Structure 1
Amino acid sequence: MTRKSVAMLVASLRKESINLKLARAVERYAPQTLRFDYVRMDDMPYYNGDLEGQRPESVRRFTDSIRAADGVCCVTPEYNRSIPALLKNAIDWGSKPPAENVWKDKVLAMTGASPGGIGTAVAQQHLRQILAIQGCIVMPGETYISFKTPDMIQPDGSIADEAVREFIAAFGARLAALIERMA
């Protein structure tokens, strides 16, 4: 069986990030037909068109990783009703130059966790707007987690609550199905 590769983008820099825990849960409960590769975003400079002639190695590594993946899973917190600058910067680098846009026709699923009642719904809506103009194939539906207790998802991604576990597993299954359908 050939596993489909998924570039995992975790848009939080915190060591104990609830979004990193969520990413690990997605990986743990997704179908075995998927392989998740965590792609680093924190070492790229801010997007600057003056650097296009000689892109930094960190940017080339990032764009090559996205280009090579069968799909992308973006796990993002919500900062001020939007996405973190870290993620926006990565999207900007990946979209330039327009003829080499790594997001065009790329399958992408998004999710996120927040201690707030609406999870990351507004950030995901904003992310959809950004990715739509890049030509990304965004998985429909909202998938966010309201982290009501700090131990809801363990650091290894395990989830004790069966309903939450099934919700995350269904997200992974939908991603696998969309990647397969679009292949």
Structure 2
Amino acid sequence: MANPTIAVLVGSLRKGSHNQALAHALEKLVAGKATFEYVQIGDLPLYNQDFDKDYPAEGLRLKDQIRKADAVLFVTPEYNRSIPGVLKNAIDLGSRPYGHSAFAGKPAAVIGASIGAIGTALAQQHLRNVLAYLDMPVLGQPEAFIHFKEGLIDEHGAISNEGTRDFLRSFTDKFLAFIATHTAG
């Protein structure tokens, strides 16, 4: 697939978010090979099953963006050893009502950055469990637990460390190949 559109869900709403910066740095690495479509999740109402009969406009917008994309990239911080509530809420809104999930069958990848030494390993594992239930094929390797340090991303939004840049280029290249194999035909 030439130049797939990738819906990007960043699980942090914070100004100066390490994960938002990481997402934009990844976008630079795939320039000319894929288009990133950032999905706004900060304005979503908390999921309520009462919505299933009359979905809120923000939830419909989210589902539309996911459906139009060829794949989904989840960029998550780790809060209390799991995924942030805002990201889980977006997943719940996009996957409901039962039988009408916007995520089903979409190839996905998971990555995250944290100042902690283990990066976002536990949050990513929890997220992978959720995505498996949503019937999303998820890139298994390489796993990318980014230990965010000052200077990792330069003033232009690019990865400054050559080894990390090479690793992340490999991650994005494998994700693009994964997308191609899961959207062919």
Please state if 1:143 is matched with 2:144.
yes
State the one-letter code of the partner of 1:144: F
Alignment coverage as a number of residue pairs: 182
How far apart, CA to CA, are the structure 2 residues paired with 1:155 and 1:9? 23
Q: Is the 8 A contact 1:71 1:179 kept in 2?
A: yes
The residue number in structure 1 matching 2:66 is 66
The residue number in structure 2 matching 1:118 is 118
The residue number in structure 1 matching 2:26 is 26
Which aligned pairs between 1:74-153 and structure 2 lie closer than 5 A?
Answer: 74-141=74-141, 142-147=143-148, 149-153=149-153
SS at match of 2:99: helix
State the one-letter code of the partner of 1:146: H
- TM-score computed with the length of structure 2 as normaliser: 0.94
TM superposition shift of 1:159: 1.6
Q: Is the 8 A contact 1:77 1:120 kept in 2?
A: yes
SS at match of 2:81: coil
Q: Is the 8 A contact 2:118 2:147 kept in 1?
A: yes
How far apart, CA to CA, are the structure 2 residues paired with 1:44 and 1:121? 26
TM superposition shift of 1:2: 4.4
Extract unaligned runs of 5+ from structure 2.
none
TM superposition shift of 1:157: 2.7
Extract unaligned runs of 5+ from structure 1.
none
CA RMSD across the alignment: 1.4
How far apart, CA to CA, are the structure 2 residues paired with 1:26 and 1:35? 11
**Larger RCO: 1 or 2 (CA < 8 Å, sep 6+):** 1
Distance verdict in 2 for CA 1:100–1:155, change over 3 Å = farther
TM superposition shift of 1:10: 0.8
Distance verdict in 2 for CA 1:87–1:155, change over 3 Å = farther
Q: Which moved more, 1:92-101 or 1:68-77?
A: 92-101
How far apart, CA to CA, are the structure 1 residues paired with 2:157 and 2:146? 13
Please state if 1:154 is matched with 2:171.
no
How far apart, CA to CA, are the structure 2 residues paired with 1:17 and 1:90? 18
State the one-letter code of the partner of 1:131: L
How far apart, CA to CA, are the structure 2 residues paired with 1:21 and 1:37? 15
TM superposition shift of 1:161: 1.0
